[in-house]
Amino acid sequence: MSDASTPLSPETGEFGSLLYAPEFEAAPHPLHPQALLPPGSPSLLPKKILENRPAIAMQGTPQSLGSPGSCEAQSFGYGLGSYTAARKPDGSIKWDASLPENQVSAAFLYNFQQHRQGVTCGKGSLAIPYLDFLIAGGSPSAQEIPYYPNCEYLENLTLAPQFPNMERFCLGSLAGFSIEKDPDAALELIKELIANGLAVAFTGSVLLGYARAPQFTHGIICETEIIPGSGHGQLVVGYDDMIGPRDNLGALLIQNSFGTAWPPAHSGSAAPRGMAYWSYATFKKTQSSGATAFPRDDGPLTGSILKNSTGPGGCIKRAFQWAAPADGGVYLVLDVQFSQPLKLENVTVTEPGTGTSLSGNYGHSFANGYLYFERTDGHQFMAGDYGVTFAATNLGGGASLEYTGTVSVGPAGAGAPPAEALSATTEVIDTVGGAATIVVR
């Protein structure tokens, strides 16, 4: 798994993931789903399978299943993008994601990203840019620009189609995370996301024999041997704690892009065609990074309306504190919505009573979702009225935008650590995992 400063094409050239960990490390990090649930919400069920999924994709041909290396476009763009765009903010179904007219065009996204990276068809691609692109402008549908595993066809697609309905596939925001740095925590996070209706795209090494002869034990894949230098992106659409052999119970349901004739007939797979159950142990040992996405909110702006001289309108729908369990940090969370997507550069909040400011970076396209500061010094934030400033960039022309407002934040609740005013040395982490900047007045 690569942690180099610059991405490299996969050595095999067969599947298409660059395994470039820094793009996930620099992405907004997911807030634990428990933070957004009412207190006392039930714990995880032992099994959850997502419904209303996009159809199984075929990124290659029966003779060359992984070619021409479009797996990140299939998993992060088509798979995660189509699934998320088909959901309303409350989790209900917006439309049938199995139909081509309701699916993101993997062909368009792959061609666009290859041109942006300056590489030709067949080379691997990054992953996060597919989600960033969908937040910023959406995509043509798979019906308008279908996918064919042919480089001559893919390279000759237009890069700027004038389709009127591209905004149908706009997403709200994204979150990325490392799997390999803490596999146990990543697995639990993925299960929590799935349990709350969010799909997870991921990327990592390719299991030996995965394309032609994947090995199943009691219906699930338990192998951990990989193809050196390989990389492949796929989609997690479920989990089951009780499937598999007694000494290796539990598996994630993986949606692949090798068509519905995969895995081979009579392979022993317990999953629907085009999918496979991976044991938790297999997933944790072999995969690198993951990401999820949140549906676009086109509803009216509510809550604390933000002031701005130019650009789309914005609001803070809700602001609150959440104390993570098991001696975790305390989070100051802002649920934010803009009427149109923009590139959100950073956010600054001003502490009530002291005037001390706390600034954090973001650096990605954003329409709606959460931003947060995590305090790790054993204290919660001060309750009261916070001043808030967002610095952003207009996606259309690149003009700088500024939004200001005030929002009321209550205490973190029973059992949370005591509140204390920020100091210049207080340990605070921003949404992208960096150290927040504190300016004491």
Domain ranges of the chain: 21-295, 304-439
SS (H, E, C) 430-441: CCCCCECEEECC
What CATH number was assigned to the domain covering residues 304-439?
Answer: 2.60.40
Pick the CATH number of 21-295 from 3.90.70.10, 3.30.70.270, 3.40.50.300, 3.40.190.10: 3.90.70.10
The answer to whether the CB of 383 falls within 8 A of the CB of 410 is yes
Residue type (1 letter), 76: F
pLDDT digits (tens, 9 = 90+) for 33-75: 999 988 778 889 999 999 999 999 999 999 999 899 999 999 9
The answer to whether the CB of 349 falls within 8 A of the CB of 358 is yes
Q: Does the structure show a pLDDT above 90 at 15?
A: no
Q: What is the mean pLDDT of the chain?
A: 94
Residue 433 has a pLDDT of 97
The lowest-confidence range among 2-11, 37-46, 102-111 is: 2-11
Pairing of strands 287-295, 428-429: unpaired
State the DSSP H helix or E strand holding residue 276, giving kind and residue range, or none if neither. strand 275-279
pLDDT digits (tens, 9 = 90+) for 186-242: 999 999 999 999 999 999 999 999 999 999 999 999 999 999 989 999 999 999 999
Using CA atoms of 34, 37, 39, 41 in order, give the dihedral in degrees to the nearest 10. Answer: -80
Q: Tell whether pTM > 0.75.
A: yes
Query: What's the rounded Cα separation, in Å, for the pair 32 and 332?
Result: 13
Contacts for 397 with CB less than 8 Å, ≥ 6 apart: none
Residue 250 has a pLDDT of 98
Alpha-carbon torsion (323, 281, 431, 394), positive or negative: negative
pLDDT digits (tens, 9 = 90+) for 235-284: 999 999 999 999 999 999 999 999 999 999 999 999 999 999 999 999 99
Query: What's the rounded Cα separation, in Å, for the pair 96 and 93?
Result: 8
